[in-house]
Every structure is written in C-alpha cells, then in structure tokens.
Amino acid sequence: MKTPALDLWRKELAAGTRKKTNNDTLWRAACAEAAALEFASIPELAAAYLDDARRLILDAVRREGGVAA
C-alpha cells in the first residue's frame, strides 16, 4: 500500500524539518494513511482512509493555487 503523505511526514521528521507537534494538512493526511495501514484487512475502510488522505492533499494544493489532477 502506498502512503506518500506518511512517507514524507516521516522523512521530514527524520531530517528535523518537522516536529511531531506540527498539526497541518500533511499531518492529517499522514494520519489517514496510517489508519489505512491499520485497517488493511478491511479493504473498503482502508480505501476510504486513503481517499481521505488524497482529498486533503489535493484540496490543499488547489487552495495554494497549484495544479492537481
């Protein structure tokens, strides 16, 4: 299962560019992806969490004026 937000969150923590207390869109998306991993045995639920994470990131990109498809 791909978890790009969770992977990036972990990478930023390891690099010291993020603190565990940062509560932002990346953190919320990473939490949703972590929940998807936790519920991998229930595919419909895992997919819903992954969809939530993707929606959070895409909405943030759109708000910032970026291009997201």
pLDDT at 68 over 80: no
What pLDDT is recorded for position 65? 82
**pTM, two decimal places:** 0.89
Q: 24: which DSSP letter?
A: S
Could you tell me the residue ranges of all domains in the chain?
4-63
pLDDT in tens, 4-47: 999 999 999 999 999 989 999 999 999 999 999 999 999 999 99
**Dihedral angle sign, alpha carbons of residues 53, 55, 61, 66:** positive
